[in-house]
Amino acid sequence: AQSVAQPEDQVKVAEGNPLTVKCTYSVSGNPYLFWYVQYPNRGLQFLLKYITGDNLVKGSYGFEAEFNKSQTSFHLKKPSALVSDSALYFCAVRDPGFQKLVFGTGTRLLVSP
């Protein structure tokens, strides 16, 4: 069965510092991996995805994520955090053999001025 783990409920960083939001996954085949962001009172917005190819994926708003097959991880990163990055971040995985997208429980990112 597919599963996703986001081990941190909350991540705090200061503005200008690099940030990492962690995600590990479990699927039976080659995974499709996604990051979504949710701002207060808004729906989920797509940030980036990994389907195949280069392990470093670049997405919206300066975010990137690195696919690591041996560690089954897909951590979200940004070199320099902004206060406006404060939001709830969800990692999701899809097994290509299934039509279901499985989400992690979310990580709240707080960026202080």
Partner 1 sequence: EAQVTQNPRYLITVTGKKLTVTCSQNMNHEYMSWYRQDPGLGLRQIYYSMNVEVTDKGDVPEGYKVSRKEKRNFPLILESPSPNQTSLYFCASSYDREKTQYFGPGTRLLVL
Collect contacts of 95-104 with beta carbons under 8 A, ≥24 apart.
Answer: 95/2, 95/27, 95/28, 95/29, 95/31, 95/32, 96/29, 96/30, 96/31, 96/32, 97/28, 97/29, 98/2, 100/2, 101/34, 102/2, 102/3, 102/4, 103/4, 103/36, 104/4, 104/5, 104/6, 104/23
Q: Which of 36, 63, 67, 74 binds partner 1 (CB under 8 A)?
A: 36
The nearest distance, CB 102 to partner 1, in angstroms, is 8
Q: Residues binding partner 1: what is the number (CB under 8 A)?
A: 21
**Which of 45, 60, 68, 71 touches partner 1 by CB under 8 A?**
45
Q: Is 94 in the site for partner 1 (CB under 8 A)?
A: yes
Stretch that binds partner 1, among 20-28, 39-47, 61-69, 75-83 (CB under 8 A): 39-47
| Residue ranges in contact with partner 1 by CB under 8 A | 32, 34, 36, 42-46, 49, 51, 90, 92, 94, 99-106
